[in-house]
A and B are shown apart, each in its own frame.
Chain A
Amino acid sequence: MLLLLQYTLIFSSVLMLVALGGCYSEHSGVINLGLEGIMVIGALGGALVMRFLPSGTPGILVVLLTIGGAVLFGVAYSALLAVACINFKADQTIVGTALNILGTALATVLVKAINMHINPDDVSSTIQYVTPKQSFIAYIGSFQFNWFMVIAILALVVAYVVLYKTKFGLRMMACGEHPQAAASVGINVYKMRWSGVLISGIFGSLGGICYILAGVSEWKFENGVAGFGFLALAVMIFGQWKPTRIALAALLFGMFRALSNVYIGIDFLAALNIPSTVYNMFPYIISLIVLAFTSKNSKAPKAEGIPYDPGQR
């Protein structure tokens, strides 16, 4: 049961971070479908840092540098979305989809190249980080505590304060509701949308690195992040674009996702003898059903998905 709690919390942290990232982007008026790709690239950045840090680096430095690497990669990658969708008015769905495919392909190509460079016989797309991983973990009894759980809660508080209590957040949200009105009172819509997308890059990449640190100590980049970015989008929609509700939705979805990892250890679930693929499907089925019931009166930002055209009313 403790294991279930542990996995629930860590998967919820991933979903919360990514969904909050998506929340900034959508409130600024840009649909960020590329979160999955951003997660992969962020995870790549963090994994590379962990791979190449000299052993013996103090734990706190490992944590900070890994996060730094992830965020750097993620933000740079999200800029691809921003420049296409904000400055060139590209279709946000196409560009987001492209970034998802590109993320996995790019990460695979780069990791394979690096692995082959170090050892010509190693053609895998796997990065190992057994030792550096320990820096992110503390044990409370047998409960494996991960610092990302704290980071996720901090992210939640920050999102709530920034979006509802600061000038910046309120202005950004105005750009997602009615950018022309926002522009008429002197807000730079382009700047606000850029900030929204880049912030989603920060949180998306944090979610990515958190995800690959969740249960395992090596990651095969060919697999991407197995649809977690999309699940986070569902969390965000289920959370109706509100940080507090997103947190609750993330807990719920995280629990369903955790069940597929640990159901064997729980007697009554193991006795049901349901194949593990069913548990894998669970979060997706639940979110589909939930979306069917909640989408009727959606609180989505009004102007999301529409490129900003200053001449429109």
Chain B
Amino acid sequence: MSKPKEKKSLFQNDGFQALLASLICIVLGMLIGFIVLLFINPSGAGGAITAVIKNFLNYSRASLQIKNFGNTLVKMAPLLMCSLSVLFCYKVGLFNIGVAGQYVVGACISIYAALAWGLPWWLCLLLAIIVGAIYGAIVGVLKAYCNVNEVISGIMLNWIGLYTTNMILSSVKESTSPYTLHIRDYSPQSVLPNIGFSKLFAGNEYMSIAIPLAIIIAVAIKIILDKTKFGYELKATGCNKNAAKYAGMAEKQNIIITLAIGGALAACGGAFLYLTDYELWEVTTSSVPGMGFNGIAAAFLGGLNPVGTIFASYFIQHITSGGAYVDKTLYSSQISDLISALIIYLCGFVGFMKLAMKKYSAAKAAKSGQIDNVNAEPEPKAPEEEEAPTDLDTKSEEGGKE
């Protein structure tokens, strides 16, 4: 790999900085989680943290491994949608904490449309997206016209959505348990098609088009934000609402559209999970599902880049699923929630880390600049740079892509 013409150290590359910062968050988060485990029971801590990291690799049979890898992917799709929702709104300067409620509403509508009306899957999905968009737009309207902070209204709507969902889905639940009916049994046409994926994953029947669709949507979000006028206008509104208005953009409308898109993405995520019939909604659910909040984690861990988010949401789901494999006689599976919460907390420090890296590279550039004047060599290397092995360079390329 060729070094860039003007001497730029790795630390000046934004992508590399973001990647490194995310890796630091992951490692520190894991480390603190490990310390908590040590504190609870020193003898099993090592085993527990490897169980979390191994996730489906805890099985020894290859077919079971693949099947459970599929299960992680099934839950990654909704998580990716939630994190895209958070990311999209954050790029427009809005913190969409209402993602959790929008996700719940999406789940609610898709399950109800499937079980009560027996609609085909694409109509269920479409309905979920439309209602999710409307639900998200409520936050937008309140923000644009009534100046209500989107965080507060989002939180209120999370709880309203949860209770409404419990109420609506009570009519399509099994009579003896608090769970909704199996979509696969009662309305097979509503299950997302799997176009041969289940064969690929050792007969995992929950694999569906949701996973490739989610990844395609992630790429589409990246293109919309970076390459279109629409995305540019939204980002401009996020940077400075008043400047955007001055430049002739409909700033109020932009806020509402952004949150409607955010709501649609999250609701689509809800439909992606529940239309596979992988999980059933429990109508006595008393707290807002963690999926939306994990979406916040994935968005920030992915360095607020749609492509980075794909990897980050896989990682978060990987450790969340991995939590199921810890030794239940010693620890509880919530240890993975703990680790992802720690990672979000540490993501708060990303700005500081990037600043530190910038300072470090600036100091280094100043130093190597002096050497450059003395020395006519085209590629003078500061001592630290020589230390950096080539695999760091490949990482920087990955970082650049993200």
Question: A residues touching B (Cβ–Cβ < 8 Å)?
Answer: 33, 80, 84-85, 88-91, 93-95, 97-102, 104-106, 108-110, 112-113, 116, 120, 123, 125, 222-224, 226-227, 230, 233-234, 237, 275, 277-278, 280-281, 284-285, 287-288, 291-293, 295-296, 298
Q: Out of A80, A89, A97, which one reaches B296, CB within 8 Å?
A: A97
Contact A291 B329 (CB under 8 A): no
Using a CB–CB cutoff of 8 Å, the interface residues on chain B facing chain A are 36, 40-41, 95, 97, 142, 146-149, 151-153, 155-160, 163-164, 166-167, 286-288, 290, 293, 296-297, 300, 328-332, 334-335, 337-338, 340-342, 344-345, 347-349, 351-352
A291 and B332 in contact (CB under 8 A), knowing A90-B348, A101-B337?
A: no
Complex formed: what's the CA distance from A233 to B167 in Å? 26
Is the Cβ of B159 less than 8 Å from the Cβ of A284?
yes
Report whether B348 and A234 are in contact in the complex, using a CB–CB cutoff of 8 Å: no
For A109, give its contact among B164, B328, B334 (CB under 8 Å): B334
Q: A101-B344, A109-B331, A284-B159 are in contact. Are A94 and B300 (CB under 8 A)?
A: yes
| Closest beta carbon of chain A to B167's beta carbon, Å | 5
Given contacts A109-B40, A230-B155, contact A98 B347 (CB under 8 A): yes
Residues of A within 8 A of B349 (CB): 84, 88, 90
Contact, CB under 8 Å: B352 / A292: no
Distance A85 CA – B288 CA, assembled complex (angstroms)? 26
> Within the complex, what minimum Cβ distance (angstroms) separates B93 from chain A?
11
Query: What is the interface of chain A mostly: helix, strand, loop, or mixed?
Result: helix
Nearest CB of B to A141, in Å: 33
Assembly CA distance A310 to B331 (angstroms): 45
Q: Nearest CB to that of A281 among chain B residues?
A: B163
B153 and A226 contacting across the interface, CB-CB below 8 Å: no
A101 lies within 8 A of B293 (CB): yes
| Residue of B164, B286, B334, B344 with highest tally of chain A CB at under 10 A | B334
In the complex, what residues of A have CB within 8 A of residue B296's CB? 94, 97
Q: A282: shortest Cβ distance to chain B, in Å?
A: 9
Given contacts A113-B40, A226-B286, contact A95 B167 (CB under 8 A): no
Chain A residues contacting B146 (CB-CB under 8 Å) are 291-293, 295-296
Top 5 nearest A-B pairs (CB, nearest first) are A90-B348, A102-B341, A98-B345, A98-B344, A105-B337
In the complex, the answer to whether B287 meets A106 with C-beta atoms within 8 Å is no
Chain A residues with CB under 8 Å of B293's CB are 97, 100-101
Which residue in A89, A106, A109 is a CB contact (below 8 Å) of B351?
A89
Q: A101-B341, A292-B148 are in contact. Are A109 and B156 (CB under 8 A)?
A: no
Name 9 A/B residue pairs within 8 A (Cβ), A-sorted: A98-B344, A100-B293, A101-B290, A102-B338, A109-B331, A112-B334, A230-B152, A277-B166, A288-B157
For residue A246, give the distance in angstroms from its CB to the closest CB of chain B. Answer: 15
Are A227 and B159 in contact, with the CB atoms below 8 A?
yes
Measured CB to CB, the nearest residue on chain B to A230 is: B155
A288 touches B331 (CB 8 A): no
A99: B residues at CB distance < 8 A: 345
- A94 in contact with B348 (CB, 8 Å): yes
- List chain B residues, Cβ under 8 A from A105: 334, 337-338, 341
Bound-state Cα–Cα, A97 to B158, Å: 14
Chain B residue contacts of A227, Cβ below 8 A: 155, 158-159, 287-288
Q: Which of A98, A106, A224, A291 has the most CB of B within 10 A?
A: A98
Contact B155 A237 (CB under 8 A): no
A278: B residues at CB distance < 8 A: 163, 167
Q: A98-B341, A102-B338 are in contact. Are A123 and B332 (CB under 8 A)?
A: yes
